[in-house]
Each structure stands twice: as C-alpha cells, then as structure tokens.
Structure 1
Amino acid sequence: MTSPALAQQTDFGRMYARKIGELPEVPSITTVIGVEKMDLDGWIGHMAATAVVQDPRLGEATGNSAKLKALARQASKAAADYRDAAATRGDRVHEYCEQIALRALGKPHQAAQARDALAQNNEEAYAGRFDEWWESYQVQPLAAEVTVWNASVGYAGTLDLVATIGGRLCLIDYKTRGTGRDGRVKPLDPKVVMQLAAGAKAEEMVVDPASGTWEPWKYSQDPMLLGVAIGQTEVQTVMANAEVLPAYWSKFWSLRQVWGATQRVSEAGVALREVGPPPPPGASGDR
C-alpha cells in the first residue's frame, strides 16, 4: 500500500501534516482508535507456546537448559514476527487493491507488478478473490487512497476507496484477513465502524500534498460505509449499521480527547517532586 504522503510516525503515533515537509499537526484515525489498548497477553502467550511445541529442535533441547533458553528467546518473538508478517502481507494486498482502482480510473498504475508481488509470496489467491469481488459488486471507483482531514475534532486519515456500488456512494475500508477452520474469511472487528465513521466525518480532502492544497470534502451525500474483508478463499462485505454510528462516533470523539490529554500531560513537565519533612517545632528561630 502506498504510504500516505502526509503521514509521519511520531512519539505520539502516526500523525498527519498539511503539506509535505511540514510538521505533523493531528493524529491519524488509527492512532486515535489505538488509544484503547487491547489485552493481547493471552494471544502473545499462545503464540509463544505454539512456537515452542512446533519447533523441530524441541526434542534435542529437552534437558539442555542452554538450548531451551535459546528456544524460549526465539519463541518470545513469535507474536511480533506474526504481526509484522501479517502487516507486510496486508500492505501487498492493499497495494494491489489500490492499483486495480487506479487502472479503473484510467490513471497510471502498476497492477501487474502488484499481482506479481503477491504471487512471489504465494498470496495470489488474495488477488483472485478481490478480482471476483470487484466484478461481482460492479465497483465504480471515484477515488483511491484519499487523505482526509477534520479540523473541528483534530484528526486525519486515508480512506482506501470511494466508489459507487449499485448506484450508491460508498466509503470503503479494506482489511486483509486470514481463513478460519471452516474455510471462511475471518470476520471484521466491529472497530472498523469507528474508522469508517471518522472517515465519513471528513471536512477536507487533499488535492496536492506537495503544495498543501486541500478542498472541501465532497463525498458526504449519505454514503454507505463498507468494510471489506479480503481473504484467500473469499471476500466478505459488511455495512456499518446506521443505528450504531452515533455511538461509535461518540467513542471515537472521546478517544481523540484522551489522545490530546495524554499529549498535554507528557509535555506538562515533572509530575511529582520530592518534598522533605517540615522543620521540627521551635526550629524556626521565632522568640
């Protein structure tokens, strides 16, 4: 996936600038959502334990403390390695989806190269399922990888696709997902509703990131908000329930306030100062 030109990684998470080369001003949508930390202790422990029991060196390491420690050190990174591999795979799939949209828009594209990159990693099935989805849903793209800004609340983000489907305006977010034991693509996390709701509340969209040119957000005409789970066996499309959007938007707004408060606290200075005991009675010299 093309990295948004205006996005920068900072100590406060990914943030966006108004112009290439300028300092970032607001957090990304995903950074705001990330303020709500997930408890991954169980998953991390499971990944580490699985890595140990599946390691072919386990048998010869039994009874050898040095070898067991080496296995444990490697297994402790299993969750991080899995996460990084999944992120890299997601980038390749997103890149392919973006290039297909650019091709449909008649713009310069590298669709063939993006598909080759998937094939080289035995991931071409993602492209095949996406192509089937694109044709089945008769997607008519309007814009791909659109960076948007909301100055009122203070955040920015990049939407994967703006398109019309069945005559309806749609804001679309892609998620690369694994396959469950039933052969179906794994379902999306409901948090995608927060991401889509924030995107729908955009006030501006970038025209030229190099010059810092923006224009009013022009895709606010009652869009359908779609999450698209792309797997190797199928693609599943889900729509954000309009009845829950106010609640998810409220939560996003609240998380944005927490992000801002956390930044202000970190810049406020020393929080605690040591104080000594008061002087003993009569030590002041008063007579």
Structure 2
Amino acid sequence: MTSPALAQQTDFGRMYARKIGELPEVPSITTVIGQEKMDLDGWIGHMAATAVVQDPRLGEAVGNPAKLKALARQASSAAVQYRDSAAARGDRVHQYCEEIALRAMGKPHQAAQAREALAANGEEAFAGHFDDWWDTYQVQPLAAEVTVWNASVGYAGTLDLVATLGGRLCLIDYKTRGTGRDGRVKSLDPKVIMQLAAGAKAEEMVLDAAAGTWEPWKYSQDPMLLGVAIGETEVQTVMANPDVLPAYWSKFWSLRQLWGATQRVNGAGPALREVGPPPPATAQSGR
C-alpha cells in the first residue's frame, strides 16, 4: 500500500495535513480506533514460547544457561518480527490491489512489478485469489487510495477502494489475513466496521495533495460498506450490517473525543505538585 502523501507519523499517532509540507491537523481513522487498547500480552507470550520450542538450537541449549538465555533473548522479539513481517506483506498485497484498480481505470500503473514483488516473497497466491475475486465480483473501480477528510469531527483517512459491484456503490477496505487450521482465510475483526463507517462519513476528498485542493465527498449515496479479507487460499467478502452502523459510528466518535482529551491532558503541564506540611501551629496564650 502506498503511504498516503498527506499522512505523517507524529508523537500523537498518525495524522493528516491538508497539503504536502504543511503541519498535520487531524488524527487518522486508524489512530482514532487505536485509542481502544488491545491486550496482547497473551499473544506476545505465545509467540515467544513458540519461537523457543521451534528453534533448532533448543536441544543443544538445554543445560547451558548462557545458550538458553540467548534463545530467550531472541525469542522475546518474535512478536515484533512477526508483526513487522505481516505489515510488509500487507503493504505488498495492498500495492498490488491498488495497481489493479489503476489499470482498470486506464491510469498509469505498475501491476506487473507489484505482482513480481509478491512472487519474489512467495506470496503470489494472494494476487491470484485477488484476481479471481475482482473478476467474480465484477468490480468497476471509481477511485483507489483516496484520502478523505471530516472537519466536523476532526479526522482523515485513506480508503482502499471506491467501486461499483453489480451497479451498487461500495466503499471497500482490504485486509491481508493469514490462513486458519481449516485452510480458510481468517475472519475480519469487526472493528473494520468502524473504519468503514468513518470513511462513509467523509465530507471532502483530496484532488491534489501537492496543491492542497479538495472537493466535496461525492460517494455518499448510501454506499455498501465491504471488508475484503485477502488470503493465500481464498478471498472472503463481508458487508457491514446497516443495523449496527450507528453504534459503531457512535463508538468511533467517542474514541475521537478521547484522542482529543488525551492531547489536552498531555499538554496541560504537570499533573501533580509536591506540597509540604502546614506551618507549625501558633501557641495560643493561656486563659
């Protein structure tokens, strides 16, 4: 996935500017959603333990404290390495998806190069199943990797794809997913609904990031919100249930208020001040 030109990584999370080179003004959709912290302690511990058990050096390290310590130190970063590897793979898959959309819209593209990058990493199956999905769902792309802005609430983000499927306007978010034990692509996290709901509430879309020109959001005609899980064995498409969208939008709005409150607290100065004991009591004259 190409990095959105207006997005910047800051001390406050990923944020967006109105023009390339200007200071960022609002948080990204994913930064807002990230205010809801996830407990990953169990997963991190599992990844570390798995790394130790599967390390071919474990047998010779048993009984040797120094070697065991070295294995443990290396295994402690297993979760980070897995996360970074999955992120890089996701970027390559997203890049391919974007290039396919650009090609379909008759725009300059590098679809062949993007597929070669997947093949070089043993990931060409993702491209093959995406191609099948694209043809089966008869995707007619309207915009790819489009940056949107909501000034009323104060956030921005980038939508993977705006397209029509079967004549119906759709906002689409791709997620690269692993394969479960059953051989099926792993299901999407329901939080994708928040991401799609926020995108649907856009007020503007960028025309020229370098010039900083925008136009009113023109894809608000009751779009269908789709999450597309792209895996090595299949692609699964899910639709956001319209009945739950108000609740997910309300949660997103609340998380945006939390982000703002956190910045105000962080900039308010020291929260605690040391206070000394009161002065000694003055002796009162006797009666």
Q: Which amino acid is 2:176 matched to?
A: T
Compute the displacement of 1:145 (Å).
0.1
2:37 is paired with a residue of what secondary structure? coil
Compute the displacement of 1:282 (Å).
1.4
Q: Which amino acid is 1:33 matched to?
A: I
Provide the residue aligned with 2:36 in structure 1.
Answer: 36
Compute the displacement of 1:241 (Å).
0.2
Provide the residue aligned with 2:270 in structure 1.
Answer: 270
The alignment status of 1:74 with 2:74, answered yes or no, reads: yes
What CA deviation, in whole Å up to 9, does each residue of 1:47-87 have, x standing for no partner?
00000010011111111111111100100000000000000
Provide the residue aligned with 1:23 in structure 2.
Answer: 23
- How many angstroms apart in 2 are the aligned matches of 1:146 and 1:78? 34
Compute the displacement of 1:117 (Å).
0.1
Provide the residue aligned with 2:139 in structure 1.
Answer: 139
2:238 is paired with a residue of what secondary structure? strand
The alignment status of 1:168 with 2:172, answered yes or no, reads: no
Q: Show structure 2 runs of 5+ residues with no match.
A: none
What CA deviation, in whole Å up to 9, does each residue of 1:13-72 have, x standing for no partner?
100000000000000000000000101110000000000010011111111111111100
RMSD, aligned CA: 0.9
Provide the residue aligned with 1:190 in structure 2.
Answer: 190
The alignment status of 1:99 with 2:99, answered yes or no, reads: yes
- How many angstroms apart in 1 are the aligned matches of 2:130 and 2:63? 49
Count residues in correspondence.
284
2:236 is paired with a residue of what secondary structure? strand
What CA deviation, in whole Å up to 9, does each residue of 1:137-182 have, x standing for no partner?
0000000000000000000000000000000000000000000111
- How many angstroms apart in 1 are the aligned matches of 2:197 and 2:18? 22
Compute the displacement of 1:199 (Å).
0.2
Q: Which amino acid is 2:150 matched to?
A: N
TM-score w.r.t. the length of structure 2 is 0.98
What CA deviation, in whole Å up to 9, does each residue of 1:64-119 have, x standing for no partner?
11111110010000000000000000000000000000000000000000000000
- How many angstroms apart in 1 are the aligned matches of 2:232 and 2:59? 34
- How many angstroms apart in 2 are the aligned matches of 1:242 and 1:212? 33
The alignment status of 1:227 with 2:224, answered yes or no, reads: no
Structure 1 ranges of 4+ moved more than 3 A: none
Q: Show structure 1 runs of 5+ residues with no match.
A: none
The alignment status of 1:63 with 2:63, answered yes or no, reads: yes
- How many angstroms apart in 2 are the aligned matches of 1:154 and 1:67? 52
Provide the residue aligned with 1:213 in structure 2.
Answer: 213
Provide the residue aligned with 1:121 in structure 2.
Answer: 121
How many percent identity over aligned positions?
A: 88
TM-score w.r.t. the length of structure 1 is 0.98
- How many angstroms apart in 2 are the aligned matches of 1:156 and 1:102? 22
